[in-house]
């Protein structure tokens, strides 16, 4: 949308990105009541529509918007500043408030260009990073800066800053219709979302991995387009375990897309690592940022906008953690003697390795056993943590640890929000925290590094509201992940796509850190460097590095987490 420079009745919009408005295919069509009520437009930008909506609706303007956006609006007459982030948190927005000044930006890097903003590390943000690989809203790595949460509006007026949530996907009525009616509405909502998001005056394409989500998105795009759509997938010719080209080709051939395969060797990927690290303005250790950066760069050479299947796992129960809860309920019914003296010792003694399917199954089984807890929130956190509390405490020796732990503060209220339906509660926690903090942040940062706009039709908030009105058992049905999604679009998916195992957008970080990326360990995790920076306990880091390099244990994901932090620290806080 257009930015800056539009004044209407003393209102001024700074920035924003809106896709649609209730009752309208695009916000550019303008809600009819605006012009009926005497508003006149001087441009075709979304910015001006927001201004008129504000004049008409005040703070309630956000309820008329559909799509991804982050905007700031200044009301000169009332001396009010409004910051707002979209329903799901696709677009980021950060701010600094000292009781007198409110500064805001879409990137932390831009915000801290103001030299008066203190660069003191936030202890909560640091501990969350070590636990999750990312820092969820409202926290950042700096104590003075905060992120808007999804569906949050911040209002600054009369020297006060107040915030409010304007939307919650679980606040609506529950669905009690028949499965056939559910399928029909699901198909309608997603088709409408894709139709809205395919409107563009620039070249448009789609990411295609050959998984359930991206395959359905591409199928519906192809049905909605008079011309072949452009699709893009990554291929790993020297890493067959991670190569999904065969699945993507199946979909591309079925829907006659203009298909592009981006072939990447390990050398291509590892050479992109320094560039990726420079685009991280706070620590972020999800290693899939590396292939995301590369596929965004290659896609931008052909199109300006790309649709993706992000959000499908959080809406339709695609992650293993959701099945893990069902397995836990069965596992705990076994006699304790069998669990503790037979199963657990055997699994604990097996070697784990992310670079083979069998080794990765062993890793998952070990994580399942480690994450067992008495409550749902304890299990959720245990299955998702990178560094468990004991290791975080060891790493941060000399720093006071927080109580309660930040992961409990964030996730416990979400997972205790409603009684019953554990699957929906798990989905809600991921949808509210992990999705915007990890997946969407990664996609936004890595795609915008190449000026590629990525749209996410599965996260249309009308579709999200509907999915959270459904019971968890229709999403994870008798152990089948994404049951209702696959059932609704079965006619669009070849059999091999419907039954393919979920693998994820992963890379062999363990293998690379022991070979072509070992220089990063030498550069950032040397005993001298860790001691000089003074954040982590040097003997603890040194022990992790030695155990990894000797093959004693596969701590690659811990090592990568620490490398990313040290690289960030050197860039932003180094002398």
Angle between helix axes 320-331 and 422-429 (nearest 10 degrees) is 140
Whose structure tokens read 């306990």?
537
**Cα–Cα dist 435/419, whole Å:** 23
From the list 313, 205, 309, 310, the residue with the least C-alpha distance to 262 is 205
Give 7-165's CATH code, choosing from 3.60.20.10, 3.30.430.20, 3.40.50.150, 3.40.50.11900: 3.60.20.10
Whose structure tokens read 């387009």?
225
Contact, 452 vs 300, CB < 8 A? Answer: yes
Q: Which two tokens stand for residue 407?
A: 């992961």
Q: What's the gap between Cα 373 and its chain centre?
A: 25
Write the DSSP symbol of residue 440: I
From the list 418, 433, 535, the residue with the least C-alpha distance to 472 is 418
- pLDDT for res 416: 86
Q: Which residues of the chain have pLDDT under 70?
A: 1-46, 354-355, 398-401, 403, 418, 502-506, 575
Is CATH 3.40.50.2300 the right assignment for the domain spanning 179-316+426-499? no
Q: Helical H runs in 301-386?
A: 312-316, 320-331, 336-338, 344-349, 357-370, 376-384
Whose structure tokens read 């899939």?
288
Q: Helical H runs in 453-504?
A: 461-469, 483-488, 495-499
Segments of the chain assigned to CATH 3.60.20.10: 7-165
User: Which residues is 260 bridged to in the sheet?
Assistant: 232
**Cα–Cα dist 75/54, whole Å:** 9
Long-range contacts of 408-413 (CB under 8 A, 24+ apart): 408/377, 408/381, 410/128, 410/136, 411/377, 411/380, 411/381, 412/377
Phi, psi (rounded to 5 degrees) for 66: -125, 135
Contact, 90 vs 459, CB < 8 A? Answer: yes
Is residue 340 classed as helix, strand or coil in its secondary structure?
Answer: helix
Q: Which two tokens stand for residue 347?
A: 């699994």
Give the model confidence (pLDDT) of 240-265 as tens digits.
777 889 999 999 999 999 999 998 88
> CA distances (Å), 92 to each of 87, 146, 183, 444, in order?
11, 11, 32, 8
Kindly report the pTM of this predicted structure: 0.91
User: Exposed e or buried b for every residue in 226-259, given b needs 16+ CB within 10 A?
Assistant: eeebbbbbbbbeebeebbbbebbbbbbebbebeb
Is residue 263 classed as helix, strand or coil in its secondary structure?
Answer: strand
**Cα–Cα dist 167/290, whole Å:** 33
Segments of the chain assigned to CATH 3.40.50.620: 179-316+426-499
Phi, psi (rounded to 5 degrees) for 197: -80, -10
Write the DSSP symbol of residue 523: H
CB atoms within 10 A of CB 49: 29
């Amino acid at each position: 949308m257009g930015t800056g420079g539009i004044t209407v009745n003393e209102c001024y919009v700074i920035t924003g990105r809106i896709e649609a408005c209730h009752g309208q295919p695009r916000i550019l069509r303008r809600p009819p009541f605006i012009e009926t009520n005497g508003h006149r437009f001087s441009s075709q930008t979304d910015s001006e529509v927001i201004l008129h909506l504000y004049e008409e609706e005040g703070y309630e303007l956000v309820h008329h918007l559909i799509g991804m956006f982050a905007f700031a609006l200044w009301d000169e007459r009332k001396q009010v500043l409004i910051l707002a982030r979209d329903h799901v948190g696709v677009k980021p927005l950060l701010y600094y408030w000292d009781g007198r000044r409110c500064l805001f930006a879409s990137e932390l890097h831009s915000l801290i260009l103001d030299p008066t903003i203190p660069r003191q590390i936030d202890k909560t943000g640091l501990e969350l990073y070590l636990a999750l690989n990312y820092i969820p809203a409202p926290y950042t790595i700096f104590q003075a800066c905060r992120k808007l949460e999804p569906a949050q509006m911040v209002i600054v007026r009369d020297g006060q800053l107040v915030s409010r949530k304007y939307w919650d996907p679980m606040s609506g009525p529950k669905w009690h219709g028949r499965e056939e009616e559910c399928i029909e509405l699901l198909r309608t909502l997603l088709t409408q979302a894709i139709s809205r998001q395919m409107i563009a005056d620039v070249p448009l394409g789609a990411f295609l991995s050959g998984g359930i989500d991206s395959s359905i998105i591409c199928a519906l795009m192809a049905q909605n387009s008079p011309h072949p759509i452009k699709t893009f997938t990554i291929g790993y010719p020297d890493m067959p375990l991670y190569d999904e080209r065969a699945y993507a080709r199946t979909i591309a051939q079925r829907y006659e897309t203009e298909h592009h395969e981006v072939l990447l060797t390990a050398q291509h990927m590892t050479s992109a690592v320094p560039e990726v690290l420079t685009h991280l303005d706070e620590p972020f250790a999800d290693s899939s940022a590396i292939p995301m950066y590369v596929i965004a760069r290659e896609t931008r050479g052909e199109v300006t906008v790309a649709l993706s299947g992000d959000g499908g796992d959080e809406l339709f129960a695609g992650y293993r953690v959701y099945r893990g809860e069902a397995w836990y309920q069965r596992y705990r019914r076994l006699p304790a003697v069998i669990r503790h003296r037979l199963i657990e010792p055997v699994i604990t003694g097996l070697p784990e390795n992310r670079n083979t399917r069998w080794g990765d199954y062993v890793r998952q089984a070990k994580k399942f056993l480690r994450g067992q807890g008495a409550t749902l929130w304890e299990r959720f956190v245990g299955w998702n943590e990178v560094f468990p509390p004991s290791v975080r405490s060891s790493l941060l020796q000399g720093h006071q640890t927080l109580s309660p732990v930040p992961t409990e503060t964030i996730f416990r209220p979400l997972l205790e929000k409603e009684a019953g339906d554990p699957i929906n509660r798990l989905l809600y926690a991921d949808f509210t925290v992990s999705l915007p903090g990890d997946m969407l942040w990664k996609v936004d940062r890595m795609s915008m590094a190449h000026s590629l706009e990525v749209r996410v039709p599965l996260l249309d908030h009308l579709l999200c509201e509907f999915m959270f009105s459904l019971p968890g058992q229709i999403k994870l049905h008798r152990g089948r992940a994404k049951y209702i999604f696959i059932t609704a679009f079965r006619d669009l998916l070849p059999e091999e796509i419907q039954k393919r195992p979920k693998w994820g957008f992963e890379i062999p970080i363990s293998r690379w850190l022991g070979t072509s990326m070992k220089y990063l360990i030498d550069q950032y995790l040397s005993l001298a460097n860790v001691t000089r920076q003074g954040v982590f306990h040097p003997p603890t880091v040194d022990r992790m590095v030695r155990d990894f390099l000797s093959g004693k244990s596969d701590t690659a994901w811990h090592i990568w987490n620490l490398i990313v932090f040290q690289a960030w620290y050197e860039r932003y806080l180094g002398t």
